[in-house]
Amino acid sequence: MLKDTQNERDDRRIPIDRVGVKSLRYPLQVRDKEHAVQSTVATIQLTVDLPHHFKGTHMSRFIEVLAGHGPVVHVENIRDILEKMCLRLESDCAHLEIEFPFFLEKQAPVSKAVGLMDYMVRFSATLEQGKMDFVVTTIVPVTTLCPCSKAISAAGAHNQRGCVTLSVRCKTPMWIEDMVRLAEESASAELFSLLKRPDEKHVTEQAYANPVFVEDLVRNVAARCEADDNILWYRIEVENFESIHNHSAYALIEKKVGAPTNR
């Protein structure tokens, strides 16, 4: 019989908060509003807590649990995966993090030319003593135009690409598309993968007519989150990749759990 070193005792009496596998690529199916199901490839992290008396965990069991759900992971079976991780690895707490590209067809504003835009999405799920916590994060690129630059310049204003990282906990699942729209509508203008010249004119002028500081953008997103009764908690990070500085502008707003809304 082969020796099981992981099951040996550890005398340092130091528990480990999370131990497991990460950077595992796996097929994923996620629902979208247009096509019902979208197939993509996810990067997955699976971890559990490790009591102080265990020397190590059984890394192969994480893969066994995941493989037990077939060749494709579905969002609907995330809780089942976490429950099996707790059972197979004798843990009180299990974590699953799934990150994947999500694609949307977008029409250019004037020519109506169609192109695909990709957005990074992350599902973070934790099961502890039967209670599950689920956070969805969507990373949305946008355009911002500086109000100060517009106010002081005789011609033009500097603009830049920005990035809105929106994380939410909701009463009922929120469509990724709705999270994308919430962020895009808060910016000076949205991004497109395909633009013809009339579209470029439209987007440029739209941004010029809607200047926002990084502070404006993060507050715009927060105000829209506050107005949505389905959103229980949110965390918003905005980074503007400045076009005339060698640094980024940054802002963050997080709604504290249980804090009153501004409605």
User: How confident is the model over 215-256, as pLDDT tens digits?
Assistant: 999 999 999 999 999 999 999 999 999 999 999 999 999 997
Instruction: Kindly tell me if the per-residue pLDDT of 99 is higher than 50.
Output: yes
Q: In degrees to the nearest 10, what's the CA dihedral of 88, 90, 95, 98?
A: -20
Please provide the size of the chain in residues.
263
Would you state the pLDDT for residue 237?
98
Would you state the pLDDT for residue 263?
42
DSSP annotation of 158? -
Would you state the pLDDT for residue 259?
56
Q: Residue 86 — φ and ψ, nearest 5°?
A: -60, -40
* Residue 249 to residue 108: CA distance in whole angstroms: 28
Question: With the C-alpha atoms ordered 203, 253, 164, 126, is the resulting torsion angle positive or negative?
Answer: negative
User: What is the number of other CB atoms lying within 10 angstroms of the CB of residue 147?
Assistant: 15
Percent of the chain at pLDDT exceeding 70: 94
Look up residue 96 and give its two tokens: 């699953």
Look up residue 75 and give its two tokens: 């969002």
Would you state the pLDDT for residue 74?
84
- Average pLDDT value for the chain: 92
* Residue 83 to residue 92: CA distance in whole angstroms: 10
Gyration radius of the chain's alpha carbons: 22
Beta strand 73-74 pairing with 231-241: unpaired
Q: Find the helix packing angle between 59-67 and 78-88, rounded to 10°.
A: 140
Average pLDDT over residues 141-154: 95
First and final CA of the chain: distance in angstroms?
Answer: 65
- pLDDT level of residue 260 (50, 70, 90 thresholds): low
Would you state the pLDDT for residue 52?
73
- pLDDT level of residue 262 (50, 70, 90 thresholds): very low
C-alpha neighbours within 13 Å on the C-beta side of residue 258: 0
Please name the residues in contact with 221: beta carbons below 8 A apart, sequence gap of 6 or more: 164, 166, 182, 183, 186, 236, 238, 253
Would you state the pLDDT for residue 4?
64
Would you state the pLDDT for residue 6?
64
* Residue 121 to residue 140: CA distance in whole angstroms: 9
Report yes or no: 29 and 78 within 8 Å, Cβ to Cβ: no
Among 21-35, 44-58, 81-95, 193-207, the range scoring the smallest mean pLDDT is: 44-58
Residue pLDDT, tens place only, 157-187: 999 999 999 999 999 989 999 999 999 999 9
Look up residue 246 and give its two tokens: 């060698």
- pLDDT level of residue 43 (50, 70, 90 thresholds): very high
Average pLDDT over residues 33-37: 82
Average pLDDT over residues 24-46: 91
